[in-house]
Amino acid sequence: MPFEQRVQGALQRILASREWTEPQRRWLTRIAKQLRQKLVVDRPALDQRLFGDWGGFDVQITDYH
């Protein structure tokens, strides 16, 4: 199975595993998108465009504390 399909399948299983808030669903979806583009999801990746447009690492982390 191609890696992209594996990531998408994993995302669907995670999203179906419980009730997520809308910000959490967006966050998980962005992580999956980042994984499809680049296998590394680290702090610099979270501050780049895909996540940076939403405030980057710091904003995302404060949403869940």
User: How far apart are the C-alpha atoms of 2 and 22, rounded to whole Å?
Assistant: 28
pLDDT score recorded for residue 10: 94
In order of 12, 25, 43, 60, the CA distances from 17 in angstroms are 9, 12, 26, 21
How many CB atoms neighbour CB 33 within 10 A?
A: 16
Per-residue pLDDT tens digits for 25-46: 998 998 898 888 876 666 676 6
> How confident is the model at residue 65, as a pLDDT?
45
Of 10, 18, 27, 13, nearest to 61 (Cα)?
27
pLDDT digits (tens, 9 = 90+) for 9-27: 999 999 999 999 999 999 8
Q: How far apart are CA 65 and CA 42, in angstroms?
A: 19
